[in-house]
Amino acid sequence: MNAIDSPSKKRILVTGGAGFLGSHLCTRLLADGNHVICLDNFYTGSPDNIRSLVRTPAFEVIDHDVTSPIDLQVDEIYNLACPASPIHYQRAPLQTLKTCFMGAMNMLELAQATGAKILQASTSEVYGDPHVHPQPETYWGHVNPIGVRSCYDEGKRAAETLFFDYHRQFGVRIKVARIFNTYGPNMRPDDGRVVSNFIVQALRGEGLTIYGDGTQTRSFCYVDDLIEGFIRLMASDDTVTGPINLGTPAEFTMRELAELTTSLIGSTGGILHLPLPADDPTQRKPDISRAREVLGWQPTVALEAGLARTIEYFRGVV
């Protein structure tokens, strides 16, 4: 029997597997001895992210859009497929909303048909511009349903609804992870997220663009820590459905992040202030008490160390 066909190995589907998070997840799952199927339509995912994996016999790539059903035999599904940066999801808001909803439904149908466990990569954006700080999973959020970010925010909220209704009505084994700002290698230089923006601008000697006065906060989780959270959540007992916050409780202002980035790179481009985008949250910080208690998980990579690794990656692509 071929090693990749061994019954001890799981067949695991990762939608959005060529994206930033998906490529790291595929790498980890392969290292753990699984057969991994990477499904991606390459709208924001990149073949470069998985180039080192394609020679691995236990790795498959399928060019497919999750808004269309697919028939596969799998043991676990990680549903990560969706544009995650405002630049990309606002460029195609209807497709983003369709990906959130129809993509989730198609993967849930596949999970129901195969008996697979399925994890939804949800987001801290379900909390909107929060009135509760830090944000626990019990907080229902403060979201604009008709704004420019709504295709993503409300799309992810609707996907969570689908997951819990499939669980209640059909007994599908679900896991819902709410991801807070994550960064690391394989981010796109043009994705418009603050960490990649700052690093790329600093490496190019440009001014770092801060939207608003720079006092708004985010909590930044290094990608390896997040992937460990995914793995632990998927491996948890079936009674653990989530949602569970995955992120770091260390909170930084945009100005603090800009200053740390320029210090690590040695940039002298200064800071350029631009108007704050519509519906941009002023605070974002997870309460990870549930992750600590249920998964024994918490981040281990400090921001300065994670930024240094990310900067090293971007030096090779910018």
SS (H, E, C) 130-163: CCCCCECCCCCCECCCCCCCHHHHHHHHHHHHHH
Residue 62: inside a domain = yes
Whether the Cβ atoms of residue 45 and residue 191 lie closer than 8 Å to each other: no
The confidence score (pLDDT) of residue 2 equals: 37
Residue 13: inside a domain = yes
Q: Which two tokens stand for residue 138?
A: 């019990």
Q: Distance from first CA to last CA of the chain, Å, rounded?
A: 44
Amino acid at 251: E
Q: For residues 177, 178, 181 and 184, what is the CA-based torsion angle, rounded to 10 degrees?
A: 10
Residue 79: inside a domain = yes
Residue 273: inside a domain = no
Range(s) of the domain holding residue 66: 8-183+222-248+285-300
Ranges 6-10, 124-128, 203-207: which has the least confidence: 6-10
The confidence score (pLDDT) of residue 20 equals: 96
Provide the CATH number for the domain around residue 44.
3.40.50.720
Residue 253: inside a domain = no
Please identify which of the residues 43, 127, 152, 222 carries the catalytic annotation. 152
> Which band of pLDDT confidence, cut at 50, 70 and 90, is reported for residue 5?
very low
Q: What is the pTM for the complete model shown?
A: 0.93
The confidence score (pLDDT) of residue 1 equals: 30
In the chain, % of residues over pLDDT 70: 97
Distance separating alpha carbons of residues 18 and 51, to the nearest angstrom:
9
Residue 262: inside a domain = no
Residue 307: inside a domain = no
The confidence score (pLDDT) of residue 270 equals: 82
Strand bridging mode 182-183 / 208-211: unpaired
Active site residue 152: yes
The answer to whether residue 203 scores a pLDDT higher than 90 is: yes
Number of domains into which the chain is organized = 1
Residue 105: inside a domain = yes
